[in-house]
């Protein structure tokens, strides 16, 4: 059939496959939640900017809550060196509010990074890098903490303590499409008797709570995990 004789009503249907392919190509990777937490309660993130930084408004909705008043402070750490040896440390801090709960929560996080390097010559060197992330949330009467350090593989591991009980926090790497980022897609947190939930680090992000996560732990847990979602590597800034 000549092109000029194609019915007008059929043209949109011819365009749909191409548009779907284009949307699929532009879609961002998402974390695939572990099977044992995937059926839990999900807090979806909405209205979150794809950018982060001191000059960006980073407010976003997190299920029934709102993360607001994100304030970042980049601090240039001290450094020294002599010969082929260098020792440098940097620190980044940020604060935020979790609104929409029974009480307003205040979150504060600090990420520290220490690097030591010794040049051996001819492009060879020895070095080590240590980093840690610590977040605390409080509403005036309750508090909780996240503590993370990089393991031998360069990944963060640690604990989430939303209401006194500490849960092991470990990275999740599985995604629904190719992901080329250096950090994990998210983290899961588990008690000795089973999973408590997971958090997606890829934007926009999500939080899962399993039935084992007590109601009293969910609000402080959401605040702490919001701090983890706001994590960025520290960068140097001139004084």
* Residue ranges covered by each domain of the chain: 30-229
- How far apart are the C-alpha atoms of 128 and 229, rounded to whole Å? 26
- How far apart are the C-alpha atoms of 62 and 70, rounded to whole Å? 14
- How far apart are the C-alpha atoms of 216 and 142, rounded to whole Å? 10
For residue 79, what pLDDT is reported?
61
Beta-carbon neighbour count of residue 36 at 10 Å? 13
pLDDT in tens, 92-105: 899 999 999 988 99
- For residues 2-15, average pLDDT: 42
Residue 34 contacts residue 195 (beta carbons within 8 Å): yes
Asked whether the predicted pLDDT for residue 217 surpasses 80, the reply is yes
Total residue count of the chain as it appears in this document: 239
Tokens of 121: 């010559």
- How far apart are the C-alpha atoms of 153 and 192, rounded to whole Å? 24
pLDDT in tens, 35-87: 999 999 999 999 999 888 767 899 999 999 999 999 998 766 666 555 566 67
Residue 113 contacts residue 90 (beta carbons within 8 Å): yes
pLDDT in tens, 124-175: 556 566 789 999 999 999 999 999 998 877 889 999 999 999 999 999 999 9
């Amino acid at each position: 059939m000549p092109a000029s004789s194609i019915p007008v009503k059929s043209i949109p249907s011819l365009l749909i496959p191409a548009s779907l392919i284009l949307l699929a190509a532009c879609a961002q990777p998402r974390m695939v939640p572990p099977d044992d937490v995937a059926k839990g309660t999900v807090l979806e993130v909405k209205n979150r900017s794809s950018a982060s930084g001191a000059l960006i408004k980073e407010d976003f909705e997190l299920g029934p809550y709102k993360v607001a008043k994100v304030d970042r402070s980049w601090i240039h750490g001290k450094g020294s060196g002599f010969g082929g040896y260098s020792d440098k440390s940097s620190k980044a801090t940020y604060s935020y509010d979790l609104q929409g709960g029974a009480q307003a929560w205040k979150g504060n996080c600090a990420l520290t990074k220490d690097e030591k390097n010794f040049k051996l010559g001819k492009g060879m060197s020895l070095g080590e890098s240590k980093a840690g992330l610590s977040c605390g949330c409080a509403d005036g009467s309750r508090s909780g903490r996240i503590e993370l350090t990089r393991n031998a593989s360069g990944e963060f591991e640690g604990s989430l303590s939303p209401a006194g009980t500490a849960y092991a926090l470990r990275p999740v790497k599985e995604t629904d499409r190719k992901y080329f980022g250096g950090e994990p897609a998210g983290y899961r947190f588990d008690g000795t008797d089973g999973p408590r939930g997971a958090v997606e680090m890829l934007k926009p992000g999500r939080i899962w709570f399993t039935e084992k996560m007590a109601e009293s732990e969910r609000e402080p847990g959401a605040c702490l995990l919001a701090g983890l979602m706001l994590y960025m590597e520290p960068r140097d800034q001139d004084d």
